[in-house]
Amino acid sequence: MRERLEALKGEAVLVIGRAQSLDELRETKIKYLGKKGELTRVLRGMGSLPPEERPVIGSLANDIRGCLDQMIAEKEKQLEEASLLEQLHKEVIDVTLPGIKPESGTLHPLQLIIEQVEDIFVGMGFEIAEGPEVETDQYNFEALNLPKGHPARDMQDSFYINPEILLRTHTSSVQIRTLIEKEGSVPVRIICPGKVYRRDDDDATHSHQFTQIEGLVVDRGVSMSELNGVLLTLIEKMFGEGTEMRLRPSYFPFTEPSLEVDIFHPEQGWVEILGAGMVHPRVLENTGYNPERYTGFAFGIGVERIAMLKYGIDDIRHFYNNDLRFLRQFKTV
């Protein structure tokens, strides 16, 4: 019986080793180790053995079973590995084929600039104010120290609807509205993005409609050095650390002292990007703030100007033609 068992083991080992597939292996397992398998069949003859041999043969049979089980398990693992490898091999794809993208759109480049500037100033504790685009002459000019007939009105030729109502020529009118609304309280820290309108023929550098961002700070003891600091923060965040900036004296009726800000552009040299200044005492008076007690600064950023510089755009009309070949270039920002 021992011989038969050993022979059976030898045979089974060979068959297991030759198995080519998991199915074959499973059949082999049933054939030798199953309930009606070869091993069982051999063991059925146990009854004819002398009682003292029975435990020895039983133990041998168990060893054989255990050994074959283990071999089968190992072979199974091998075959599974092989099958997986084959599957992986079959599933190879060209990973350099293009991806299938969900269609994605774009924000307008002017909106991108507005949001960047808003975020910079919100980070500095500014609120975002808004005001009407159809404005009174009073708020657009008079209260900003630009009485009727003031020569500086020539700087901003306007679209009037009637003698008292016009399309605002700058977002500075929101300075007036904000200060009146705040009723003399401080600190005032706002920026105001918005559309403005001037009687200009549309060409590469002019647009009858364009976009400004106004800024205003009023508080006790506000100085020009703080204006300088705020502008420097803005410029560095918009154009990168180390961007050179210079302040030049200029003239606006609603600020005194007034200034213009240039940045150094690697190709274009010094380029003007915004106007600013200390709020004119008459503007404070006109809105109920005592200029002896409070001072402030204001600035006006040309959004198109910034976008043109930042993105290298050469014609302001691109912003309003809305050619998709233009707009789609702003996907990455």
Judge contact between 170 and 300, C-beta under 8 A: yes
Q: Are strands 127-128 and 188-197 parallel, antiparallel or unpaired?
A: parallel
Asked whether residue 256 is marked as a ligand-binding residue, the answer is yes
Give 1 or 311: the residue with its C-beta nearer to another protein.
311
Give 93 or 324: the residue with its C-beta nearer to another protein.
324
Pairwise CA distance, residues 79 & 32, whole Å: 19
Give 28 or 258: the residue with its C-beta nearer to another protein.
258
Give 8 or 129: the residue with its C-beta nearer to another protein.
129
Pairwise CA distance, residues 323 & 300, whole Å: 28
Give 32 or 297: the residue with its C-beta nearer to another protein.
297
Give 154 or 314: the residue with its C-beta nearer to another protein.
154
Q: 308 phi and psi, to 5 degrees?
A: -65, -45
Pairwise CA distance, residues 276 & 216, whole Å: 10
DSSP letter assigned to residue 9 = H
Minimum distance from CB of 267 to another protein (Å)? 19
Chain Cα centroid distance, residue 312: 21
Q: 54 phi and psi, to 5 degrees?
A: -55, -50
Minimum distance from CB of 78 to another protein (Å)? 41
DSSP letter assigned to residue 49 = S
Pairwise CA distance, residues 263 & 286, whole Å: 33
Residue with tokens 């510089």: 309
Pairwise CA distance, residues 147 & 255, whole Å: 15
Minimum distance from CB of 118 to another protein (Å)? 7
Minimum distance from CB of 64 to another protein (Å)? 49
Judge contact between 201 and 161, C-beta under 8 A: no
Q: Which residues are annotated as a binding site for Mg(2+)?
A: 256
Binding site members: 256
